Structure 1
Amino acid sequence: MFNKEEFLKLCNEWSKNTLMQTLEIEYIDAGEDFLKAQMPVNSRVHQPMGLLHGGATVALAESVGSAASLMFINPEKQEVRGIEISANHLRSKREGMVYCTAKIIHKGASIHLWEIKIVDENDKLISLCKLSNMVLSRRDR
């Protein structure tokens, strides 16, 4: 059975000492078919014109979409790799917070497809992304 609190705690723990921690991505909600996170928009994620960098937006989307696939695998036996991501940046953002929600479109045995929406505090769409993840047998590290 899916335990939301345990899953969010796991995602936030796994983010320590990674790009997700650097970008201050925090996983805040989850359900049977979605995962949601937030990220502050400030100078650390700006491009030179003082706007949210598209690369930071894509890093947020891939982080959330990849973590979301963990809901559907056995992490002791399997692992996830993002294999393709596309992003349409529709609105700019200078400061505040963005919220990223990944919703499953296709949950196959070896491929997961996610629709990922990034919105601002007023639920205005900032970016729309699509992520394909491959599910692999876990390899010894």
Structure 2
Amino acid sequence: MKFDLEKLNQLTHNNLTGHLGVRVTGASEGELQAEIDIAQHHLAPNGYLHAGTVVTLADTACGFGCIANLPEGGQNFTTIELKSNHLGTAREGTIAVAAKMVHGGRTTQVWDATVTNKATGKAIALFRCTQMILYPKG
């Protein structure tokens, strides 16, 4: 799979990431970028961007980054910890995320991500997660 954007974007079909409209826009060694165009279903009842939308975008970018950067023999991953700090919000436009691997071990990866308002560049959230690398049984 590595950095094939088409294959990474195919992972969004028929699941939450596809419903939310997540698009992978870039991938390279230890990094991944994605975005969402804000629609009504991304908002909370108060009319502002739902925190779950932001966390899903960040977690997806880190997860797809992990898939594209699995160590040799690694088959998949699962998120074992995540944290987010929300600094701002949006009601329209596009939110973008840049995820970067800060630790790439054989059993875990740690990723940091910054979600921004694409038009202004203003940070909306800071995110960190730990991924456990899964290997085939045997």
Give the TM-score taking structure 1 as reference length: 0.89
Matched, 1:120 2:117: yes
Q: Sequence identity, in percent?
A: 26
Distance 1:16 1:126 in 2: 26
Partner residue of 2:48? 51
1:32, distance to aligned residue in structure 2 (A): 1.5
Matched, 1:108 2:105: yes
Further displaced range: 107-116 or 72-81: 72-81
Gap runs ≥5 in structure 2: none
Residue 138 of structure 1: CA displacement?
A: 3.4
Paired position in structure 2 for 1:130: 128
Task: Give 1:1-141 correspondences, 5 Å limit.
Answer: 4=3, 7-73=4-70, 78-121=75-118, 122-138=120-136
Deviations 1:28-55 (A, max 9, x none): 1112121000101121110011111001
Distance 2:74 2:99 in 1: 23
TM-score, normalising length from structure 2? 0.91
For residues 107 and 131 of structure 2, the distance between their equivalents in structure 1, rounded to whole angstroms, comes to 8
Distance in 2 of aligned mates of 1:96 and 1:40: 6
Cα separation, partners in 2 of 1:3 and 1:133, compared to 1, 3 Å: closer
Equivalent residues, number: 136
Q: Helix, strand or coil for the counterpart of 1:70?
A: helix
- The one-letter amino acid of 1:126's match is I
Q: Deviations over 1:81-100 (max 9, x none)?
A: 01111000100111110001
- Retained in 1: the 8 A contact 2:74–2:133? no
Distance change >3 Å, CA 82–CA 75, structure 1 → 2:
farther
2-side partners of 1:119 and 1:69: how far apart?
A: 21
Compared CA separation, residues 89 and 77, structure 1 to 2 (3 A): closer
* CA 1:138–1:57: 2 relative to 1, 3 Å: farther
Segments of structure 1 that go 5 or more residues without pairing to the other structure are none
User: Aligned-pair RMSD on alpha carbons?
Assistant: 1.8
